[in-house]
Amino acid sequence: MKVLKFPWLTHKEESRHYEIYTVDVSPDGKSIATGGLDGKVIIWSVDSIRKVIEAMQKDPKLTSNDIDPEWKRPLASMNRHTGSVTCVKFSPDGKYLASGSDDRILLIWALDEEQSGQPIFGSEFDKERWTVRKRLVAHENDIQDICWAPDSSILVSVGLDRSVVVWSGSTFEKLKKLDVHQSQVKGVVFDPANKYFATASDDRTLKIFRYHKTGDDSFTIEHIVYEPFRESPLTTYFRRLSWSPDGQHIAAPNATNGPVSSVAIINRGNWDTNIGLIGHDAPSEVAQFSPRLYESNDQKSNGKKNINGNADNNNNSNKKRDSDVLEENVESIVATAGQDKTLAVWSTSKMRPIFVAFDIANKSITDLAWNPTGDMLFVSSLDSSLTVITFEKDELGKAIPIEDNMKHLHRYGVDKDSLDFPESVKQLKLENTALTLKKKRLQELDTRFSGPQLSTPSKPKKKETTIGKSVSTSMEPKRLSIDPTKREGSVNILIPKRKQDTKLNTTVIKNGKKRVMPTLISSSGSTSTSSSSNNNLVNTTQSSRKSISSLSITGSKPLNSNNKNNSDLLPSALMKKIGTSSVAIPRLGLHTLVMGVRERSRNRFVAGDGDNENNGSDKEDTNMDNTKYDDTATENNATEFLMTLNAKLTPDKVWSDEPSTRYIESSSIVPDTDTVLRECGDMSEFHTLEIHNGVERSIQFDTEALLENPTRVLGYSKGQRTIEMFIPEVILCALGIPKCKCWCLATANGSLIIISCSGQLKTPKIQMGHKIVKLTSQDNYLIAFTERGLFFVWDLKNMKTVYRNIPVLPILNNKPIQGHRVRVNTCVRSCTIDPTDQSLVVEMASPDDTYSYRWTKSLGCWSEDIPTTSKETKSV
């Protein structure tokens, strides 16, 4: 084993060296990619590194200046990120390179083999030319880690925005965004058997997701691991996971075993965490399994030792699994590193690490990467160095052929969904049987909807011949055509001309192209049906629907020319319901049932649509109203029919409209102007707050616009500026409390910000969940009233919550309701705090009188005070 540090393997610009955050090796092992603080992705040649090593072996006195400059040059240097590159990963098929950055962008690179065109400015001297094929935007914060599926079918990225984003590996479209973690996600790894992927987060959990390969790829949480991470520190920048090449173990860094830092080993199947690698003095950030499997030297018959040397005697399932591993006689190698600047390499068959390299770097180690043959290990660090560790042949163990790795994954059903060959003869027979049944089913569906062949085995052969003559089979379909000479009424019908030798109805559209004209299937010999079809196209459609229904229901009775009325085969009550929905459908579509357009009765929901093609409806259908809907008649109608859902309570309405002030007499909403001034204090100590909302209230939720033009807040006192802050939210209410010497700001996103008069935050930002429409204060109490009718009260002197989520609706709607409409004319006039018992006193105003209600903490309900007349009260 040799530990090598080359001075040119770094991210350097002029005299400054930049930290290296990530490193990865290509699947062919010919190149490595690194990313760092300078925002560059640099591709290095592994062959050049090997040449340097061989030259140093021949001449130990060789210095850096004596080495060929071509060997020290990188293959390519890409600078398309605007922030630090935190992760790079080659796709398993070697076609793409994915890079994530703290600029929240995921770039997909591809090697330009032809290198056609002019070189990009700044990369004229690059040996290889990498181009950006896709620019993926979905994260709202830094991207921390990415991983590819073993078959390169999907790509998973995680970041500090708590989200897990799944991308297509071919089209790179976003398949799904999973928001299941409660804190920043810092690591992700894919199962080599292509069944699971795991994510590690600062919420001290590790989640195992199952990957379902169906028509639409779906992901479900298989298991959540808590135990070894309950006390894990949150000081690490990464939690880079690794899955063993045999699919048996997951190595998860930044775990704890009591007060000691460790690397947790999670066993596949039952996902237990009884194994831990203890030895690092500081939290570990990265673990990486070698891609090779090695023959184990442990031949003990009493059971194979675990990765930390303890015999496994937990349960029968673990013993069975260990016996399988003993029979296969393989072991895997894992390397761990972290903030203690130490590298440790472990084996699953030894209780102690193979070797430990102390202080291999001057700062924390950020990433590890093995080459495909397992004889080189690359270590990146914050000291801007890339350390290369080489191993001699069979130094870590005798490696089994890399093709045999798949044999150990077959027990987990590796890639069963995409295998081109069956696993057994029985499976082959089963697949052939399923394919035959599928084809038969498709043929039945085709004949059902496009000219079915009607056969009646119970009938004599003579009648079969009659059927063949009277009803056209699928070989030569005879379809219904409407005679325009017999057409009555004002229904416009396009009748294409047909030649004698044609079998399909064709028509010529405006652009000159021909198109097959859809035709209707009906009985050709029915006199009553054909006459009614000539009168109205919709009646023809209904009659054909009846004939098809009779054919499918009766089944044994053939459709022929001697059958005069096929619709008589069905009961009249059942025939009236054919083609009518069992659910009351709104006239303007299903979406209006949820959003609501107007209040209509149930029988008007199924009234005829406004489209011309549906103006004629079935006269026999009693559930359909053929009359036109009269808007004015409905408005003047005294009977009201209410919808089940109200559009005013949908999330879009809650967060997009202006704040609702219908429950309060005088609100605290600031005007939608460029500048708003607020004052507080007396002449001895007077404070002024100046609010400049960056955007108009109509675009108050445009995040990009608010980031470009944030709200500016300026505070003045005694002729000097004391506050200057920028908030990427629109401020709705502002209030100064002189006794507490603070300002309270309510934003359109439902947040409450409390700052001192000197500009310091007194509390973290409070998320209310609703817009605040009224802010008032009394002594050291702050009272907030939201647009949803909820009171919140805080004691700012003692920093305590007095009341929260106190509803005003019980005292607002306490009068009996007449009719279907609820008309509330009462509103909140004032709200105060009684200092004796800290009860909330609310004064309500109505056109007739004013009432006072009191909410006491001991009772937990509203109680009515003695009412006073409106003439004796003053409006607040």
Question: Model confidence over 737-776: pLDDT tens digits?
Answer: 988 889 999 998 889 999 998 888 888 989 888 889 899 9
Alpha-carbon torsion 64, 67, 69, 72, what sign? negative
Which residue, among 315, 307, 312, 301, has the nearest Cα to 287 in the 3D structure?
A: 307
The reported pLDDT for the residue numbered 707 is: 86
The reported pLDDT for the residue numbered 162 is: 92
Residue listed under structure tokens 């708003």: 676
Name 87's Cβ contacts closer than 8 Å, sequence gap at least 6: 21, 22, 35, 99, 100, 143, 144, 145, 146
What is the SS3 assignment for 524?
coil
* Mean pLDDT value across residues 841-868: 82
Tokens coding 532: 């009614």
Number of Cβ within a 10 Å radius of residue 511: 5
pLDDT exceeding 90 applies to what percent of the chain? 35
Alpha-carbon torsion 538, 526, 524, 484, what sign? negative
Instruction: Give the whole-angstrom CA distance, residue 693 versus residue 713.
Output: 8
Name 280's Cβ contacts closer than 8 Å, sequence gap at least 6: 261, 262, 263, 336, 338, 340, 342, 344
Query: Residue 124: pLDDT above 70?
Result: no
Span of 7-11, 63-67, 448-452, 638-642 with lowest mean pLDDT: 638-642
What is the SS3 assignment for 93?
coil
Q: What pTM did the predictor assign?
A: 0.50
* Mean pLDDT value across residues 692-717: 85
Maximum CA extent, the chain: 115
Q: pLDDT confidence of 291, banded at 50, 70, 90?
A: very high
Cβ(39)–Cβ(101) under 8 Å? yes
The reported pLDDT for the residue numbered 655 is: 53
The reported pLDDT for the residue numbered 394 is: 87
Q: pLDDT confidence of 478, banded at 50, 70, 90?
A: very low
Name which residue leads in pLDDT, 586 or 345: 345
Strand-pair category, 164-168 with 154-159: antiparallel
Which residue, among 400, 399, 368, has the nearest Cα to 381 in the 3D structure?
A: 368
Q: In what order do the strands lie in the sheet with 781-786?
A: 772-778, 781-786, 790-795, 800-807
The reported pLDDT for the residue numbered 580 is: 53
Instruction: Give the whole-angstrom CA distance, residue 297 versus residue 350.
Output: 10
Q: Quick one: three-class SS letters along 335-386? A: EEEECCCCEEEEECCCCCCCEEECCCCCCCEEEEEECCCCCEEEEEECCCCE
The reported pLDDT for the residue numbered 518 is: 65
Tokens coding 6: 């080359």
Question: Tens of pLDDT along 53-90?
Answer: 988 888 878 877 778 888 889 999 999 999 999 999 99
Instruction: Give the whole-angstrom CA distance, residue 759 versus residue 723.
Output: 5
Instruction: Give the whole-angstrom CA distance, residue 341 versus residue 685.
Output: 56
Mean pLDDT score of the chain? 75
- Alpha helical stretches, state H, 459-503: 461-470
| DSSP 8-state symbol, 506 | E
Instruction: Give the whole-angstrom CA distance, residue 691 versus residue 49.
Output: 60
Which residue, among 249, 196, 186, has the nearest Cα to 221 in the 3D structure?
A: 196
The reported pLDDT for the residue numbered 868 is: 46
Q: pLDDT confidence of 664, banded at 50, 70, 90?
A: confident
Which residue, among 520, 493, 492, 485, has the nearest Cα to 505 in the 3D structure?
A: 520
The reported pLDDT for the residue numbered 591 is: 53
* Mean pLDDT value across residues 79-103: 94
The reported pLDDT for the residue numbered 672 is: 81
Residue listed under structure tokens 């057994």: 424
Instruction: Give the whole-angstrom CA distance, residue 219 versus residue 216.
Output: 10
Cβ(694)–Cβ(709) under 8 Å? yes
* Mean pLDDT value across residues 834-857: 86
Cβ(77)–Cβ(94) under 8 Å? no
Query: Residue 105: pLDDT above 70?
Result: yes
* Mean pLDDT value across residues 791-808: 90
Query: Residue 480: pLDDT above 50?
Result: no
Q: How many helices (H) and strands (E) does the chain have?
A: 15, 48
Name which residue leads in pLDDT, 441 or 755: 755
Which residue, among 861, 865, 834, has the nearest Cα to 849 in the 3D structure?
A: 865
Identify which of 96-110, 554-568, 573-587 has the greatest average pLDDT: 96-110
Query: Residue 536: pLDDT above 60?
Result: no
The reported pLDDT for the residue numbered 263 is: 94
What is the SS3 assignment for 106?
strand
Cβ(755)–Cβ(743) under 8 Å? yes
* Side-chain half-sphere CA neighbours of 507 within 13 A: 9
Number of Cβ within a 10 Å radius of residue 381: 23
* Mean pLDDT value across residues 347-356: 89
Q: Delimit the domains of the chain by residue range.
A: 1-103+105-137+370-388, 183-359+392-422, 591-636, 651-775
The reported pLDDT for the residue numbered 415 is: 53
Identify which of 286-300, 340-354, 450-464, 524-538 has the greatest average pLDDT: 340-354
The reported pLDDT for the residue numbered 874 is: 37
Cβ(240)–Cβ(187) under 8 Å? yes
Tokens coding 43: 């591709």
Q: How far is CA 128 from CA 36, 125, 293, 386, in A?
A: 20, 9, 33, 21
Q: How many residues does the chain have?
A: 876
Q: pLDDT confidence of 488, banded at 50, 70, 90?
A: very low
Q: pLDDT confidence of 106, banded at 50, 70, 90?
A: very high
At residue 408's C-alpha, the angle toward residues 402 and 412, to 5°, is: 135
Name which residue leads in pLDDT, 563 or 266: 266
- Alpha helical stretches, state H, 192-341: 316-328
Q: pLDDT confidence of 696, banded at 50, 70, 90?
A: confident
Amino acid at 269: G
Residue listed under structure tokens 């082959």: 428
Alpha carbon distance, N-terminus to C-terminus of the chain: 83
The reported pLDDT for the residue numbered 280 is: 92
Name 336's Cβ contacts closer than 8 Å, sequence gap at least 6: 251, 253, 263, 277, 280, 284, 286, 287, 288, 343, 344, 345, 346
Identify which of 9-18, 79-88, 598-607, 784-793 has the greatest average pLDDT: 79-88
The reported pLDDT for the residue numbered 471 is: 36
Cβ(162)–Cβ(179) under 8 Å? yes
Number of Cβ within a 10 Å radius of residue 242: 24
Instruction: Give the whole-angstrom CA distance, residue 772 versus residue 752.
Output: 8
At residue 53's C-alpha, the angle toward residues 52 and 55, to 5°, is: 65
The reported pLDDT for the residue numbered 414 is: 64
Cβ(334)–Cβ(292) under 8 Å? no
* Mean pLDDT value across residues 158-166: 94
Query: Residue 201: pLDDT above 80?
Result: yes
* Mean pLDDT value across residues 678-701: 85
The reported pLDDT for the residue numbered 70 is: 87
* Mean pLDDT value across residues 863-874: 55
**Is residue 498 packed enough to be buried (19+ CB in 10 Å), middle (13-18) or exposed (0-12)?**
middle
